[in-house]
Amino acid sequence: MIVQQYKEMLNGKSVIRQLSEFATERGKAIGYENVFDYSLGNPSVPAPKEFTEALIRMLQEEDPMTLHGYSPSLGITSVRERIADSLNERFGMHYKKEHIFMTSGAAGAIAHAIRCIAQPEDEILTFAPFFPEYNPYVNLSGAKLRIVPANTEDFQINFEEFENMLSDKVTAVLINTPNNPSGIVYSVRTIERLADILKKKSEEYGHDIYLISDEPYREIVFEGVESPFVSKYYDNTFLCYSFSKSLSLPGERIGYIAVNPACKDAETFVNMCGQISRGIGHNCPPSMIQLGVAEVLDKTADLSVYERNMNLLYDELTRLGFRCVKPGGTFYIFPKALEEDAVLFCEKAKKYDLILVPADTFGCPGYFRMAYCIDTEKVERSLEALGRFVKTEYDIR
Amino acid sequence: MIVQQYKEMLNGKSVIRQLSEFATERGKAIGYENVFDYSLGNPSVPAPKEFTEALIRMLQEEDPMTLHGYSPSLGITSVRERIADSLNERFGMHYKKEHIFMTSGAAGAIAHAIRCIAQPEDEILTFAPFFPEYNPYVNLSGAKLRIVPANTEDFQINFEEFENMLSDKVTAVLINTPNNPSGIVYSVRTIERLADILKKKSEEYGHDIYLISDEPYREIVFEGVESPFVSKYYDNTFLCYSFSKSLSLPGERIGYIAVNPACKDAETFVNMCGQISRGIGHNCPPSMIQLGVAEVLDKTADLSVYERNMNLLYDELTRLGFRCVKPGGTFYIFPKALEEDAVLFCEKAKKYDLILVPADTFGCPGYFRMAYCIDTEKVERSLEALGRFVKTEYDIR
């Protein structure tokens, strides 16, 4: 009576994971410092010392029964309050604690948001290039994820294809800005146009279409780039946040959903999230981790390395003749491969110890992703390998 | 497009939660120290100091990028290894890390185990009295939880009713020993007889029946009581463990599944658990919490208070004429109410500031649960109120 649905998933090994494992193996042979591993989106700067200090202080001073005691299933009240206050102050919003639900990172947030508003047969649209884990978040809820093809001009939204794919079956649209893998930040104009279409279509279909906004890279935005706060532009928005990147805490699995106070059923949705969690026995993130991040809500790790790395790579990639839209944030860059098949291109790059991820599973064949959350010194050394790769394999420069 | 399934769950407020809230409110009026609050199963002794010390040391000394880095989705390898080793040493088993999956407490463990082996229309049997959260764990998977009536003689298994309810549709049996709410420990004889029936019926139906063994109270067993290690008696066992009670860490949501190495698909099930987690975006428990408990696997909080409290209550309850099976472990006692309707009985007890939980939602009407995870001093003071309640309302003694 083994459940086939999950058993069959075991065959589909992630391309990113395979490349990361290759990089680790290769590192054993030549030293990992000599492998230019651009495979994983894993923060490369330490958590802010204030986080470490806050946890040590709590462990030394707080009553362990309070510190490690049950959290209410929606999250610790004071933590939810502080998150609401912080969002209100920074973004001019009007959240109350009743709009906040604590989650296991953005992953948990998105999965819960989907289960609030989508049932089997419903469709959720997202835009290529997209984070491939959206597939299990949506598909295991019974709903269906459909991918709007990329706008490869500037990686804003391909509105023509989007409007073609909208139908009465669509209950939510899932966006990710700043974007993994393109590194692009959606412009105010993009968000406004998206909001206009969703309002018009909600009216036409006679049911709400929700916007699920995946924002783990919110704090990693580069100089001169305007990153609109999505929830300001559309009432029915679930903001899905993670502290993984801003505080460099990916393993601590902590984030939240903030349902727009202007959304009709906002408080009900937050309460429903508690019921969804019950079913999987997850309940809520650990008390200590909730209390820890609440102490450093307006801090970040030192994120400046990502912009430095981006500039180095962008300059060299364009100099070498790659077509590449300049990232506005995140720690990803997304150039067009030098041959049609990006899988082959990335396979050849391995010979130069360059670990690049083909974007086929991101819904954008012909492109590749580089996750430059690595030391700047290594990025600098990788440029020579990149030049050699391109010159040797593609006879450029 | 709000999903009704979860919205409707919001109406069913937990009886335990309501009583706990009543106790808190009453505490505001007369001082919480004067409310004999036996409602919640929340540990009343601090976590062992070795846990606190281990976390402080890790925060002070470890590289934050390693400490807070991504955990593999099945759990941190070294943590899984140490859990396997500890179980092998203590219980003479042969687990390897490949049999261990890290979870959000026993809740997460049970919910994942169910999703490995049950599909819509399948049935899972459990035995009254039972922990009511089993309902969402099973029912939200699409399978159906059916309750075998209690054996109120000694709260071992009612085998006659069990055999009547077994059918080809049953894919798993869910047990909890030491038991919440009865406090009873299943005997070797009970486990052996259960295992015999499951083997016989698996053969008869031509498919495996799995045993899901919920063991958060494994370390709370009283003097002279033998508590069999369930997995030794039946190959197809999922052991579901939580550190909530043994280490007094209920808010940190940490536990594991250990699939019996003798179970045919053991390693596949563990890998499937990783896929089930993906769907809800939970992935795995926080890295720091995993690493922390791995440092104190063979320690417990000072659990002796629970046995002391049990003896005080058991003696007084029996002296007052209650029918009550002596608990073998946990921090619960489960007497028969002094009138047929335990809800009415517990309602009357409130007048004496005694907060008792009627067992209707545990599948055992006419009984009530007392969670004596409170200070012994308070238990002692509560005995007078108990006597007064019984004498006044039921004219006994």
- pLDDT (tens digit, 9 = 90+) per residue, A108-145? 999 999 999 999 999 999 999 999 999 999 999 999 99
Position A147 scores a pLDDT of 98
C-alpha distance from B154 to closest chain A C-alpha (Å): 30
CB B389 within 8 A of CB B353: no
Q: Which residues pair with B329 in a beta bridge?
A: B221
Q: Which of B7, B140, B251 sits opposite A69 (nearest CB)?
A: B251
Amino acid, single-letter form, for residue B386 = L
Q: Does B268 touch chain A (CB under 8 A)?
A: yes
Q: Which two tokens stand for residue B382?
A: 């509560």
Helix (H), strand (E) at residue B43 = none
Helix (H), strand (E) at residue B99 = none
Q: SS3 for A342?
A: helix
Contacts of A279 in chain B (CB under 8 A): 111, 136-137, 139-141
| Contact between A1 and B140 using a beta-carbon 8 Å cutoff | no
Q: Does B278 touch chain A (CB under 8 A)?
A: yes
Q: What angle do CA A357, A358, A361 make, to 5 degrees?
A: 105
Contacts of A105 in chain B (CB under 8 A): 281, 283
Contacts of A275 in chain B (CB under 8 A): 6, 9-10, 136
C-alpha distance from A247 to closest chain B C-alpha (Å): 10
Q: What is the mean pLDDT of chain A?
A: 96
Q: Please give the radius of gyration of chain A, using alpha carbons only, rounded to the nearest integer.
A: 21
Q: Which of B116, B253, B281 sits opposite A286 (nearest CB)?
A: B253
Q: Which two tokens stand for residue B117?
A: 């082996």
Q: Which of B68, B137, B269 sits opposite A279 (nearest CB)?
A: B137
Instruction: Round to whole Å and give the CA distance between A218 and A176.
Output: 10
| Contact between B286 and A60 using a beta-carbon 8 Å cutoff | no
Torsion-angle region of B92 (φ positive above 0: left; ψ -120 to 50: alpha; else: beta): left
Q: Pairing mode, if any, of strands A237-242 and A368-371?
A: unpaired
Confidence category of residue A4, pLDDT binned at 50, 70, 90: confident
Burial of A375: CB neighbours in 10 Å, binned 0-12, 13-18, 19+: middle
- Listed in sequence order, the DSSP H helices in A92-184 are 105-117, 134-139, 159-165
Burial of A383: CB neighbours in 10 Å, binned 0-12, 13-18, 19+: middle
Tell me what ipTM this predicted complex has.
0.95
Q: Does A265 touch chain B (CB under 8 A)?
A: yes
Q: Which of A1, A43, A208 sits opposite B117 (nearest CB)?
A: A1
Count how many pairs of residues, chain A against chain B, have C-beta atoms within 8 Å: 233
A102 to chain B: nearest residue by CA? B282
E strands, chain A, where? 36-37, 100-103, 123-127, 144-148, 170-176, 210-214, 237-242, 255-259, 332-333, 354-355, 357-358, 368-371
Give the number of residues written for chain A.
397
Burial of B363: CB neighbours in 10 Å, binned 0-12, 13-18, 19+: buried
CA atoms within 13 A on the CB side of B313: 32
Position A281 scores a pLDDT of 86
Q: Does A381 touch chain B (CB under 8 A)?
A: no
Is pLDDT above 80 for A252?
Answer: yes
| Contact between B210 and A47 using a beta-carbon 8 Å cutoff | no
Q: Which of A122, A137, A279 sits opposite B140 (nearest CB)?
A: A279
Task: Say what the alpha-carbon torsion angle A310, A313, A316, A322 is, to the nearest 10 degrees.
Answer: -100
Name which residue leads in pLDDT, A246 or B15: A246
C-alpha distance from B84 to closest chain A C-alpha (Å): 22
Contacts of A63 in chain B (CB under 8 A): 46
Q: Please give the radius of gyration of chain B, using alpha carbons only, rounded to the nearest integer.
A: 21
Residue A362 DSSP class = G
Which residue carries 């209650």 as its tokens? B322
Torsion-angle region of A127 (φ positive above 0: left; ψ -120 to 50: alpha; else: beta): beta
Q: Does A218 touch chain B (CB under 8 A)?
A: no
Instruction: Round to whole Å and give the CA distance between B147 and B162.
Output: 9
Instruction: Round to whole Å and give the CA distance between B371 and B394.
Output: 23
Residue B258 phi/psi, 5° resolution? -120, 110
CB B250 within 8 A of CB B301: no
CB B312 within 8 A of CB B305: no
Instruction: Round to whole Å and give the CA distance between B170 and B369.
Output: 29
Confidence category of residue A396, pLDDT binned at 50, 70, 90: low
Per-residue pLDDT of chain B (397 residues; tens, 9 = 90+): 788 888 888 887 788 888 998 999 999 999 999 999 999 999 999 999 999 999 999 999 999 999 999 899 999 999 999 999 999 999 999 999 999 999 999 999 999 999 999 999 999 999 999 999 999 999 999 999 999 999 999 999 999 999 999 999 999 999 999 999 999 999 999 999 999 999 999 999 999 999 999 999 999 999 999 999 999 999 999 999 999 999 999 999 999 999 999 999 999 999 999 999 988 888 789 999 999 999 999 999 999 999 999 999 999 999 999 999 999 999 999 999 999 999 999 999 999 999 999 999 999 999 999 999 999 999 999 999 999 999 999 986 5
Is pLDDT above 90 for A49?
Answer: yes
Amino acid, single-letter form, for residue A391 = K
CA atoms within 13 A on the CB side of A166: 22
- How many Cβ atoms are within 10 Å of B114's Cβ, its own excluded? 32
CB A263 within 8 A of CB A237: yes
Q: Does A248 touch chain B (CB under 8 A)?
A: yes
Q: Does B81 touch chain A (CB under 8 A)?
A: no
Q: Does B284 touch chain A (CB under 8 A)?
A: yes
Instruction: Round to whole Å and give the CA distance between A317 and A88.
Output: 40
CB B323 within 8 A of CB B336: yes
Q: Pairing mode, if any, of strands B100-103 and B123-127?
A: unpaired
Contacts of A288 in chain B (CB under 8 A): 251-252, 289
Instruction: Select from B263, B162, B164 the least CA-distant residue to B210.
Output: B263
Q: Which two tokens stand for residue A233?
A: 């532009």
| Contact between B43 and A65 using a beta-carbon 8 Å cutoff | yes
Instruction: Select from A187, A195, A227, A188 the least CA-distant residue to A211.
Output: A195
B112 to chain A: nearest residue by CA? A280
C-alpha distance from A313 to closest chain B C-alpha (Å): 24
E strands, B1-106, where? 36-37, 100-103
Q: Pairing mode, if any, of strands A170-176 and A237-242?
A: unpaired
Instruction: Select from A246, A244, A242, A184 the least CA-distant residue to A219.
Output: A246
C-alpha distance from A382 to closest chain B C-alpha (Å): 22
CA dihedral sign of residues A342, A347, A352, A353: positive
Q: Does B109 touch chain A (CB under 8 A)?
A: yes
A169 to chain B: nearest residue by CA? B1
pLDDT tens per residue, range A258-306: 999 999 999 999 999 999 998 888 878 999 999 999 999 999 999 999 9
| Contact between A69 and B119 using a beta-carbon 8 Å cutoff | no
| Contact between B248 and A282 using a beta-carbon 8 Å cutoff | no
- How many Cβ atoms are within 10 Å of A63's Cβ, its own excluded? 9
Instruction: Round to whole Å and give the CA distance between B364 and B325.
Output: 14
Q: Which residues pair with A355 in a beta bridge?
A: A37
Q: Does residue A64 have a cis peptide bond before it, meaning omega lies within 30 degrees of 0?
A: no
pLDDT tens per residue, range A61-119: 999 999 999 899 999 999 999 999 999 999 999 999 999 999 999 999 999 999 999 99
Instruction: Round to whole Å and give the CA distance between A211 and A236.
Output: 6
Instruction: Select from A134, A132, A127 the least CA-distant residue to A107.
Output: A134
C-alpha distance from A339 to closest chain B C-alpha (Å): 33
Instruction: Select from A293, A200, A240, A205 the least CA-distant residue to A101.
Output: A240
Inter-axis angle of helices A342-349 and A376-394, to 10 degrees?
A: 110
Q: Does A239 touch chain B (CB under 8 A)?
A: no
Helix (H), strand (E) at residue A358 = strand A357-358
Helix (H), strand (E) at residue A175 = strand A170-176
